[in-house]
Amino acid sequence: MDAQSILAELESRGVELQALGGRLRFHPARAVPPHLVEELRSRKAELLRLLTAPAVGDTLAGVRAAQPSILAAEVCEMKLEDFARASLVLEVWSETLREVVVLASDNALLDPGERRSTYRAAELKEMLSFDAVSLKRVHQVKFLFRGTILPA
């Protein structure tokens, strides 16, 4: 059974599946038979990828992605240079920061009232070499000052 089939089977049984901290959680557990639990274990990595992929069509404080029909898997496969020009705004879970952050193409329209830290593609390019400690520090400063990490 592939990951999409597992998700469809769980949905048909009324089971909610979540990815939390690199682990799969499902509820109600009594609705998942042992053979399906084994399928979840064998496809864990694929299911985590599907569940944590950016939801491109979701709204972000009234701003929609410019290309809502694009698949989340396509975004994950994009090169950073392509993402920079794609007019996309994504909410993604950062395991390092332990919170949802907003990633935006350099040309994407953003809600000026957005309170979460938003990282443009140009910033992401600069941050590729950061270790976890540096990333957390930059994130804290960015949150406090609501700015960019790039020189003006």
| Cα–Cα distance measured from residue 68 to residue 57, given in angstroms and rounded to the nearest whole number | 4
**Verdict on whether the full-model pTM lies above 0.85:** no
φ/ψ of 17, rounded to 5, equals -110, 130
Residues 108-115: what's their mean pLDDT? 80
Residues 116-137: what's their mean pLDDT? 89
Most confident of 3-7, 50-54, 93-97: 3-7
The per-residue DSSP string of 12-26 comes to HTT-EEEEETTEEEE
Give CA angle at 97 (92, 98), nearest 5°.
Answer: 75
Question: How confident is residue 35, by pLDDT bands cut at 50, 70 and 90?
Answer: very high
Phi-psi region of 146 (alpha: psi -120 to 50; beta: other; left: phi over 0): left
| Cα–Cα distance measured from residue 124 to residue 31, given in angstroms and rounded to the nearest whole number | 41
Alpha helices in the chain (DSSP H): 3-12, 34-42, 44-52, 72-77, 80-84, 121-127, 132-145
